[in-house]
Amino acid sequence: MKYPKMFEPGSIGKLRLKNRIVMPAMGTAYATASGEASDNMIAYYEERAKNDCGLIITEITRVNSVNGRGLFNQLSVIDAQCIPQLERLAAAVHRHDSKIFVQLHHPGRETTAMLQGGTQPVAPSAIPCKKTKEMPRELTTQECDDLVTAFVTGAVLAKTAGIDGVELHAAHGYLLNGFLSPHTNKRTDKYGGTFHNRVRILGDIITYIKFMCGADFPVSVRISGDDYVEGGNRLEDTVKIALMIESFGADAINVSSGTYESSPTIIEPNSYPQGWKKHLAKEIRKHVHIPVIAVNNIKEPSVAEALMEEEVCDFVALGRAQLADSAWAKKAKEGDDLFIRKCISCLYCFEELETGRKTKCAINPRTGQEKVFANYQKDGNNQPVVVIGGGPAGMQAAITLAKRDFKVTLFEQGATLGGTLNVANKPPFKENLTWLIDTMTEEMKRLAVDVRLNTKATAEMIKELSPVGIFVAGGAKPIIPAIPGIDSNHVLTAESYLSEPVALGKKVTVVGSGMTGMETAEVLAEKGHEVTVVEMQPTIGTSIHYMVLEGMIERLSKNNVTMLPAHKLIAVDDKAALLFNTLASKTAMVESDNVILAIGVTPNNHLTDEFKELSDRVITIGDNNRSGRIADAIHDGFNKAFVF
């Protein structure tokens, strides 16, 4: 076996697990409005169980109906109404010899009054979270006692439903973490002040769960190895907390990091390497005698195995990795690394959730829709289908059609597959997009898709194949504004520069602060150019997720990149870019040896028109249909091919 450590059996308390792979809690919003496990949620978790994940921990699960909501459509264990569907969930996971914990959660100050139906958030102390910017109400001592009861009740309900154990969420700045941290706990009663008082609520919950559910009922506690906020718990503090957790009778410690105020350390953008926080779990593991579970931004099986070999942890937790590929564990067990669709850290899953939608994955269209897309309808009967374009949309359509037993021919006029991914993977921290190209290429190879590179599809070629359908994924072309000087030789598009870098002058102006523009600015700044970013909107990077943008702006600032929001490019001459300041209503000039355009793309619609005469089933997908992100392209290719 290629990865023996990961696939050794393990134990949490007296609960035996078939391997060392854990799916940690991740918010999904797949539950019903009343907090029960929906059929979609059950299918989502069962999909990971049947693909060899040893332990599944549910999403954050509400224990309080008044001020404990952390998500819309959040799983809950408040009363007996939750039991029937939890029983179905437990049974679905157990069918595949996997185990399941429910993660008991209260958001504390890291929620909003809107989520609580207008009720003010509560916390150990009246200290607002800098992200949510809402003042919480300090809990009374009696309310703290009542919350202990709520957590214990949740555990009892979970056990009654056949759930194998529970995890207490005492990380990420949520309620229990708020009690543990001197940064957020300024109380003077029995739940605050001294170190022992700050950990009291956790001790009470664990003690009473063990009393009510039995000493052998497993309890894991998720903690932040480092809060990464000023005044919060650092690693040396967390080691002491971990020792107390062990003394309270917990059976495992799940080590994460951060709070909402240091959120990139919780859900890392692509600038964070795999295993970057292994020192946290490793240090805690040195001091305790119960198993340590660790998340570590793991994407590749080799990294997970190395963490086990280095004795960083006893169990490896893979969250987004198992969103991106539900069969991650199974493929790792088989040593089939190339066939794993590895998470690209794009934060699409988190962005969907935090904007009130259900969790989705950019590169796995089935995530959260496993019930809807349970089986590929094998009705292709080897009928020929043509896909034009080898970008992400075209590749995904070809893969999906081939799984349905169509005979697929894919034409790509370039020398390689991947389309715009071959440009998107050039900026810093984007190398992991090459994983996606390689994996999708391998998928098509195994499905016997006829890939014709360096071949521009012609009417004659397509007529020879007599296809029952044509999928057009011809991509998009950069938008070029009709302004004076735009045709000058020193004006380039970001796409052309990133794909084939050429020598540029010292001073470069990048027009557009979307992802492409900002990443191009990073590339140029790292090469020593004096870079100015021009953006017509009043704010830089409005289309970029804040956790990605914060890191970008920090790095660009270190390289002295000038950023000019509320400026529109109106002309280019030999040595300058002429701008119009939309706020001050006046012109400005920026010295520029080169101007690079990154102001968006427009679909190559002419391709669709060319082939409409050849078939009455010409389907446009990806950027050829609507310019967007990787998620849009892959989901569009999948959805249309699935129902074709």
Give the active site residues.
174
Nearest C-alpha neighbor of 490 from the set 575, 561, 567: 575
N-terminal to C-terminal alpha carbon distance within the chain: 40
Tokens of 499: 């794909």
Radius of gyration over alpha carbons of the chain, in Å? 27
Distance, in Å, from the CA atom of 271 to the CA atom of 345, rounded to the nearest integer, reads 9
Cβ atoms of 590 and 570 closer than 8 Å: no
Nearest C-alpha neighbor of 45 from the set 398, 368, 430: 368
Surface-to-core class of residue 413, CB atoms within 10 Å of its CB (0-12 exposed, 13-18 middle, 19+ buried): middle
Distance, in Å, from the CA atom of 567 to the CA atom of 14, rounded to the nearest integer, reads 64
Surface-to-core class of residue 457, CB atoms within 10 Å of its CB (0-12 exposed, 13-18 middle, 19+ buried): buried
User: Which residues are CB-neighbours of 139 under 8 A, at least 6 positions away?
Assistant: 122, 123, 124, 147
Grouping H, G, I as helix, E, B as strand and the rest as coil, residue 12 is strand
Classify residue 381 as left (phi > 0), alpha (psi -120 to 50) or beta. Answer: left
CA–CA–CA angle 218, 224, 228 (5° rounding): 180
Distance of CA 58 to the CA centre of its chain: 16
Walk across the sheet containing 586-591 and list its strands: 567-572, 576-581, 586-591
Distance, in Å, from the CA atom of 471 to the CA atom of 441, rounded to the nearest integer, reads 18
Q: Return the bridge partners of 222, or none.
A: 169, 254
Q: Which uninterrupted H or E stretch holds 208?
A: helix 200-213
Distance, in Å, from the CA atom of 118 to the CA atom of 67, rounded to the nearest integer, reads 9
Q: Return the bridge partners of 571, or none.
A: 578
Cβ atoms of 256 and 287 closer than 8 Å: no
The one-letter amino acid code at 298 reads I
Q: Cα torsion at 308, 310, 314, 318 (round to 10°)?
A: -50
Please identify which residue in the block is written with the tokens 């706020």.
583
Please identify which residue in the block is written with the tokens 């089933």.
617
Distance, in Å, from the CA atom of 395 to the CA atom of 377, rounded to the nearest integer, reads 19
CA–CA–CA angle 207, 208, 214 (5° rounding): 90
Please identify which residue in the block is written with the tokens 């539900």.
326
Distance, in Å, from the CA atom of 77 to the CA atom of 86, rounded to the nearest integer, reads 9
**DSSP tag of 76:** B
Cβ atoms of 444 and 453 closer than 8 Å: no
Distance, in Å, from the CA atom of 458 to the CA atom of 465, rounded to the nearest integer, reads 11
Pairing of strands 165-170, 219-224: parallel
Cβ atoms of 218 and 11 closer than 8 Å: no
Distance, in Å, from the CA atom of 473 to the CA atom of 461, rounded to the nearest integer, reads 17
At 177, give phi and psi (nearest 5°): -65, -35
